């Protein structure tokens, strides 16, 4: 994979709003941003590690419990959430970050951002709740804005 930016949709499509990441990744699949790898990795964060190992920047889309109203959109960096609160905020994105630290300790440091959406419903169901479905177009817009910003910047230097 030669793309230096990856977008990873994380979450469970069978648990209503927990599927925001996969829904976003699937929506982007038809017209992905140029030079960007988009992947729906579901809840299998271990399968996402190779994407992170080959990228310079990664944008993870996931449901995030930040305490806001359902549909609130959060933009976080890896350093915004401590390991102690990781599971209560996002069970997927931050589990991925923790696994990367443990399983790939020699991997180059990359810039990671998390675009999260406050869930309304986490019960069984394949459709997003109305409040989360209503913000999906804005999430897709933000993804494209972030990618454009990253592409206009000089790529981060990898530390070996």
**Which residues are CB-contacts of 155 (< 8 A; sequence separation ≥ 6)?**
4, 56, 57
Whether 65 is in a domain gets the answer yes
Report how many domains make up the chain: 1
Which helix (H) or strand (E) is 57 found in, with range? Answer: strand 57-63
DSSP label at residue 15: B
Q: What is the pLDDT of residue 75?
A: 94
Q: What is the pLDDT of residue 13?
A: 94
Of the candidates 106, 104, 37, 112, which has an alpha carbon nearest to the alpha carbon of residue 78?
Answer: 112
| Strand, coil or helix: 41 | strand
d(CA 76, CA 99): 18
Whether 28 is in a domain gets the answer yes
Q: What is the pLDDT of residue 160?
A: 42
Domain that holds residue 81: 5-152
pTM over 0.75: yes
* % the chain with pLDDT above 90: 52
Whether 85 is in a domain gets the answer yes
- pLDDT tens for each residue of 130-158: 999 999 999 999 999 999 999 998 665 55
Average pLDDT, the chain: 84
Select the more confidently predicted residue: 70 or 89.
70
- Which of 39-43, 91-95, 117-121 has maximum average pLDDT? 117-121
Q: What is the pLDDT confidence band of residue 18, given thresholds at 50, 70 and 90?
A: very high
Q: What is the pLDDT of residue 138?
A: 98
Q: What is the pLDDT confidence band of residue 36, given thresholds at 50, 70 and 90?
A: very high
- pLDDT tens for each residue of 73-115: 999 887 776 555 545 555 566 566 666 666 566 677 788 899 9
Whether 160 is in a domain gets the answer no
Whether 157 is in a domain gets the answer no
Whether 80 is in a domain gets the answer yes
Whether 97 is in a domain gets the answer yes
Whether 158 is in a domain gets the answer no
**Which residues are CB-contacts of 44 (< 8 A; sequence separation ≥ 6)?**
none
CATH code, 85: 3.40.50.1450
């Amino acid at each position: 994979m030669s793309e230096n930016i990856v977008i990873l949709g994380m979450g469970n499509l069978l648990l209503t709003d927990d599927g925001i990441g996969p829904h976003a990744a699937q929506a982007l699949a038809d017209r992905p941003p140029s030079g960007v790898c988009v992947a729906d990795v579901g809840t299998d964060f271990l399968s996402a590690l190779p994407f992170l190992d080959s990228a310079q920047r990664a944008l993870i889309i996931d449901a995030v419990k930040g305490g806001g109203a359902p549909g609130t959109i959060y933009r976080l960096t890896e350093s915004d959430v401590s390991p102690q609160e990781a599971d209560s905020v996002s069970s997927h994105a931050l589990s991925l970050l923790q696994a990367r630290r443990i399983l790939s300790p020699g991997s180059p440091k990359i810039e990671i951002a998390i675009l999260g959406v406050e869930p309304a419903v986490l019960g069984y169901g394949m459709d997003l709740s109305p409040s989360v479905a209503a913000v999906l177009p804005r999430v897709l817009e933000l993804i494209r804005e972030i990618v454009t910003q990253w592409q206009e910047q000089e790529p981060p230097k990898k530390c070996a």
